[in-house]
Structure 1
């Protein structure tokens, strides 16, 4: 474990909380689910959760639901959506899926789809993941061998996206997506899965694994709050911008026709 001085406040301020930067992020453990839920709430999603019950968030157009339930087996995240031509799709992510990786998918639900054709494999290849094709399965594996992303197709024709991460002791998580899950969402997930940056976990929430690297960092509670608020503020700003754009679109109603030669009144 390495000690790292966290830069971010002025001289004389005293750090009050011990946290750890964890790498690789895929083995960092679940984290605080508010990283996902507060961003969705700031993006205009409705909180449909029952008191003391599992988390349930619904999109403004009611076509997508994001749920987190730690009280059932195997528990974890369920994202369920409806699309026009392709019908329903769903994604199921285990309890220990890092919230930063979950947010890759859920944040993308709040944004307009890019005009560029999505590629699930491109973000992985950019981070030097190893890819191979065998038995109708296309698989990408992280350089350290801990995480994977696979499109698998069985002999009966059924297919799905399967992904996850495990250390040498078998601790970790798995997730799967139905094959009709919108590709740009799967790409957003794979981008965060392969992200090289470490994620932060508080003391006592760092998994015990020989395959992770950690750096001790000291941060002020106000600093943590500011980072969280910056993410929420960004979500609100993007939501406001989209609403403003919709509200200021030019009208498509044709103007009244003025006959040729007719009198016009100047103002």
Structure 2
């Protein structure tokens, strides 16, 4: 375990111990507000009841997001009705930073470029391969995976997750109609090598993670959180100011790997 001191502490503030954790997929659920506050300032409606699960709805009422830790197995449910119904289910221990990859993308216009779920994984040297009718990508440390599954009745789905040697982890699944740019946004955060921060007492006990101890002041944490909120607010203002005709539609076409796809090792 390494230790470092962040610069920029405010006068008279008491630094608190946090940890940077790698790989991020095994860092635990983290702070749900990392997702919800970004959505709130992006114009989403908070339908949550006091003391109850999180429920949020997009401005056009097409997408709903729920987080319920009080049921088994609990976790995130994201449902949409654009170009056909679709849904994504992410386990309770899915890191909020990875969940935000998908949910942040719901607030942005879709890129004109065709999505490629595998590209972010291959860029981080994930091992990609065919396994029977499925196409699979595994992280270099073998703790995290992404899979495109084809069932005997030709129904397809995306499946991802992470697990350490002690059996701790989570899974996520996406129905066939889930827009591919959303799945790619998820895979981008899943493959990111950047560590995520967790406060003392919230770091999972796992032999597969690496941690660095850091001293962080409340003002530093607040500044980092505010920077994310400010970015969401600016993007919302820009989007609402643009002509509606410039906003591209969202389509939901499953991506199937080409038969000649090469395996990365």
Asked if 1:215 corresponds to 2:212, the answer is yes
Query: How do 1:97-176 residues align onto structure 2 when only pairs under 5 Å count?
Result: 97-176=94-173
Quick one: structure 1 residues 182 and 247, their matched pair in 2 at CA, closer, same or farther if it must change by over 3 Å?
Answer: closer
- 2:249 aligns with none
CA shift for structure 1 position 17: 0.8
Question: 1:171 and 1:202 mapped to 2: Cα distance?
Answer: 19
Question: 1:221 and 1:83 mapped to 2: Cα distance?
Answer: 40
Quick one: structure 1 residues 130 and 247, their matched pair in 2 at CA, closer, same or farther if it must change by over 3 Å?
Answer: closer
Query: How do 1:236-247 residues align onto structure 2 when only pairs under 5 Å count?
Result: 236-246=233-243
**Structure 2: which 5+ runs fail to align?**
247-265
Conservation of the 8 A alpha-carbon contact between 1:59 and 1:65:
yes
Aligned length: 246
TM-score, normalised via structure 1 length: 0.89
Off by >4 Å, runs of 4+ in structure 1 = 12-15
Per-residue CA distance 1:90-130 (angstroms, 9 max, x = gap): 00000000000000000000000000000000000000000
CA shift for structure 1 position 244: 1.3
Question: 2:240 and 2:61 mapped to 1: Cα distance?
Answer: 17
Question: 2:20 and 2:160 mapped to 1: Cα distance?
Answer: 23
Query: How do 1:226-265 residues align onto structure 2 when only pairs under 5 Å count?
Result: 226-246=223-243
Secondary structure of 1:41 counterpart:
helix
Quick one: structure 1 residues 157 and 248, their matched pair in 2 at CA, closer, same or farther if it must change by over 3 Å?
Answer: closer
Question: 2:6 and 2:125 mapped to 1: Cα distance?
Answer: 29
Question: 2:101 and 2:245 mapped to 1: Cα distance?
Answer: 30
Per-residue CA distance 1:197-237 (angstroms, 9 max, x = gap): 00000000000001100000001101101110110111011
Conservation of the 8 A alpha-carbon contact between 2:5 and 2:216:
no
- 1:256 aligns with none
Conservation of the 8 A alpha-carbon contact between 1:20 and 1:217:
yes
- 2:21 aligns with 22
Conservation of the 8 A alpha-carbon contact between 2:9 and 2:219:
no
Per-residue CA distance 1:118-174 (angstroms, 9 max, x = gap): 000000000000001121100000000000000001112222100000001110100
Per-residue CA distance 1:219-262 (angstroms, 9 max, x = gap): 1101101110110111011000111113899xxxxxxxxxxxxx
Conservation of the 8 A alpha-carbon contact between 2:133 and 2:150:
yes
CA shift for structure 1 position 4: 1.7
Asked if 1:54 corresponds to 2:53, the answer is yes
Conservation of the 8 A alpha-carbon contact between 1:54 and 1:68:
yes
Query: How do 1:30-45 residues align onto structure 2 when only pairs under 5 Å count?
Result: 30-45=29-44
CA shift for structure 1 position 54: 0.3
Per-residue CA distance 1:41-79 (angstroms, 9 max, x = gap): 010000001111100000000000010000111100000
Q: CA RMSD in A?
A: 1.5
**Structure 1: which 5+ runs fail to align?**
250-267
Secondary structure of 2:17 counterpart:
strand
CA shift for structure 1 position 186: 0.1
Q: Which moved more, 1:213-222 or 1:152-161?
A: 152-161
Q: Which has the larger radius of gyration?
A: 1
Quick one: structure 1 residues 163 and 41, their matched pair in 2 at CA, closer, same or farther if it must change by over 3 Å?
Answer: same
